[in-house]
Structure 1
């Protein structure tokens, strides 16, 4: 981790704001091939610094950070025409997951349920 733990609060906040801005505004998480290197290129922040900040500030690794963005996007857009009538596999791909199984693994890890179970619970409310 090197000198990253010595970043000032302002430096951390600026970097985290840039990470969040580019990830969210450009919806980088919707690309199944998004990488730390691409995020570094977009933000101008080094790969190592991004990795450190995501680990230190969000308590997760890059893949979990991106998968949580995908899950939030899926949940927020479930009733939108673009996702409404799609299968779980099609929804998974539309939300940036490489395949249905990676979506299932991420959902189970972060929500404690499969996407199907989660969607059934939401539709009952």
Structure 2
């Protein structure tokens, strides 16, 4: 049985992805450690199945990795900003939407191939 979303037009795929990105970024939904497909679906008005399909097919990521990449991006962009500066790694991880310091470390290793220390050399945690 073929995937029901395969027939989506390029424009519709792009429109949906732009919408997903817009809500993820403007509302910083990824900062919620419990963010799930259902919530993203509610925010965007796009079904969870469709979101999942688009993230997989177009971005080559599963939903968790997609969300964790957003968290990593936020962490790295704000690592020396007042919002994160001088916080423990545990607190930093939680503020960025990770469930724990360990899940933050795992995501960094998986997606960046480096540890958090690599990004904060010269800052308060080195």
TM-score interval w.r.t. the shorter chain? Answer: over 0.9
CA contact (8 A) 2:98 2:104 kept: yes
**Quick one: structure 1 residues 121 and 6, their matched pair in 2 at CA, closer, same or farther if it must change by over 3 Å?**
farther
> Which residue in the other structure is 1:42 paired with?
43
The unaligned stretches of length 5 or more in structure 1 are: none
Q: Distance in 1 between matches of 2:78 and 2:55?
A: 25
The unaligned stretches of length 5 or more in structure 2 are: none
Structure 2 residue 115 is the aligned partner of structure 1 residue 114: yes
> Which residue in the other structure is 1:76 paired with?
77
For residues 58-105 of structure 1, the C-alpha deviation after alignment (integer angstroms, 9 at most, x for no partner) is: 110000000000000001111111101011111100100000100010
Task: Provide the secondary structure at the position in 2 that maps to 1:3.
Answer: coil
Shift of 1:45: 0.5
Q: Distance in 1 between matches of 2:90 and 2:118?
A: 14
**Considering only aligned residues, what root-mean-square deviation do their CA atoms show, in Å?**
1.6
CA contact (8 A) 1:88 1:116 kept: no
Q: Distance in 1 between matches of 2:23 and 2:123?
A: 29
CA contact (8 A) 2:76 2:119 kept: no
Provide the TM-score with structure 2 as the length reference: 0.92
Higher helix share: 1
